[in-house]
Amino acid sequence: MKYDKVETQNTKIIRFIVDEKYRLLRHVILFLSLLIIIFFSDWLSQYSGAYMYYRMLCVFSVLITMFYVNMYVLVPRFFFKGQYIFYIVLLFLLVMIGTIVMSTLLNLYLDPKSIIANQHNKENYRASFEGIIILPPFILVTTMIKLFQRWIRDNESITELRNITLTMELNELRNQINPHFLFNMLNGIKALVRTDQEKAATVIMRLSEFLRYQLYENNEEMTLLKSEIDFLTNFLELEKIRRDNLLIVITSNIKSQVTNNVFLPPNLFTIFVENAVKHSVNINGDESYIRINIEVKGDTLYFECVNSKDYVYEPLLSDKKSGGLGLVNIKRRLELLYGENHTLDIESTKSEYSVKLTIPL
């Protein structure tokens, strides 16, 4: 019981440090704590009257500015990007500029009770020199807080990403490797064996590659771009056997040396292609189409999937639910993997549905 109570307390403290809803309260506590530290410091107690409050305001303003410049400029732009030496140099430069500004502001208004005005100048310059040595460790406390926040959020993102990936894998195994799919494929192969043995052999090869990828290769954290493209091609070619009047076009400008050397998380495109298959059905038997284009330009991959729609046709409720959940999961997965460095545009009209995805490599 005692251990559970301590653990609950620790969790509350961590949530207070990390959660966005406590952000304003954290800043209020930082302001008040700094004011209290300055107000009860020894070097301020020797002054009185308006000059004491002027000194306190000057020191507080400069210190809080340094804290926020460190937290929102230096840490995210340099420390989190691995430029540690540059960060330390900039931190000391920030402290030097801050102490010079602080000393200048204090010298603009001297204590009228002082017998020798230069006494304050000497004290302020000596304080500036001490500040250059004392302040960096003090400011680094805010760096530790930002680092701790980053660590907690990264761990939470990794955990959520694993859960989403596991859910997606289970859904895909349930949706793709199901008895109906396999029975339809086997029945199709059986019919082809009698009419076109060469084509039947090709279908068996594609089916084996499809199943091997689903059962083994996509369990890895990263997969080759070539494997992902081959999987989509096999999946759509198998689907084409099951349906008449389905036009499938897969284009790519990617050279083989790129597809064989570029790795990416598996099943980034599968949900979009599955939805294209489900929604491209035409109940009148007219020709429907699925067009996929994958390009690599520089360090960016562009994926586009466009399929025809029959506005009369409505997928089964179970298909709509699984498709909707799949889209929610893949959107969240992309957020966790790439943050703001990816774009996903989905457009739907009466006759066409399109998905455009851009991700960094």
Pick the last residue of a domain from 115, 133, 156: 156
Task: Please give the backbone phi and psi of residue 223, each rounded to the nearest 5 degrees, phi first.
Answer: -135, 160
**pLDDT for the residue 304:** 95
Residue 141 lies in a domain: yes
Please identify, among 139, 156, 173, the residue that sits at the C-terminal boundary of a domain: 156
Q: How many Cβ atoms from other residues are within 10 Å of residue 329's Cβ? A: 17
> Does 263 share its domain with 345?
yes
Assigned domain for 77 exists: yes
Are residues 132 and 241 part of one domain? no
* pLDDT score at 321: 46
221 and 150 within one domain: no
Distance CA 71, CA 172 (A): 42
38 contacts: CB under 8 Å, gap ≥ 6:
44, 56, 59, 60, 63
Q: Does a structural domain hold residue 197? A: no
Burial class (CB in 10 A: 0-12, 13-18, 19+), 256: exposed
In a domain, 201, yes or no: no
Q: Are residues 151 and 7 in the same domain?
A: yes
Q: What one-character DSSP code corresponds to residue 254? A: -
The confidence score (pLDDT) of residue 176 equals 46
Out of 156, 172, 188, pick the residue that ends a domain.
156
Kind of pairing, strands 300-308 and 263-264?
Answer: unpaired
pLDDT value for 102: 79
Q: 3-class DSSP state for residue 308?
A: strand
Catalogue the long-range contacts made by 166-173 (C-beta closer than 8 Å, 24 or more residues apart). 167/329, 168/267, 168/271, 168/326, 168/329, 168/330, 168/333, 169/218, 169/219, 169/267, 171/322, 171/325, 171/326, 171/329, 172/214, 172/267, 172/270, 173/214
> How far apart are the C-alpha atoms of 354 and 274, rounded to whole Å?
13
Q: What's the domain count of the chain?
A: 2
318 vs 171: CA distance, rounded Å:
12
Same-domain status, 261 and 342: yes
Q: Are 324 and 279 in contact (CB under 8 A)?
A: no
Q: Would you state the pLDDT for residue 322?
A: 46
151 and 229 together in one domain: no
Q: Is 227 found in the same domain as 146?
A: no
Q: What is the pLDDT of residue 318?
A: 45
Sequence letter at residue 324? G
345 assigned to some structural domain: yes
Task: Provide the 3-class DSSP secondary structure of residue 263.
Answer: strand
pLDDT of residue 100: 81
Domain with 349 in it: what CATH number? 3.30.565.10
Q: Are residues 229 and 298 in the same domain?
A: yes
Note whether 152 and 6 are same-domain residues: yes
Are 146 and 220 part of one and the same domain? no
At 80, the amino acid letter reads F
Same-domain pairing of 21 and 146:
yes
pLDDT per residue rounded down to tens, the chain (361 residues): 444 444 455 577 777 777 778 888 888 888 888 888 877 776 666 666 677 777 788 888 888 888 889 888 888 888 888 888 888 899 888 888 888 887 777 776 654 444 444 455 555 555 556 666 777 777 888 888 888 888 887 777 777 777 766 665 545 544 444 455 566 567 767 767 777 777 777 777 777 777 777 666 666 678 888 888 888 888 888 778 767 788 889 898 888 788 888 888 887 888 898 888 888 877 666 778 999 999 998 889 999 999 988 766 565 444 444 445 668 878 878 887 888 889 999 998 888 899 999 999 8
Output the pTM of the full model.
0.51
State the CB neighbour count (10 A cutoff) for residue 108. Answer: 8
Q: Is the Cα dihedral 77, 84, 299, 304 positive or negative?
A: negative
Q: CA-CA distance, 236 to 144, in Å (whole number)?
A: 51
| Cβ atoms of residues 250 and 232 within 8 Å | yes
Domain match, 43 and 148 both: yes
Residue 179 domain-assigned?
Answer: no
- Residue 271 inside a domain? The answer is yes
Domain of 105? 2-156
The CA distance from 323 to 165, in Å, is 15
Classify residue 177: in a domain, yes or no: no
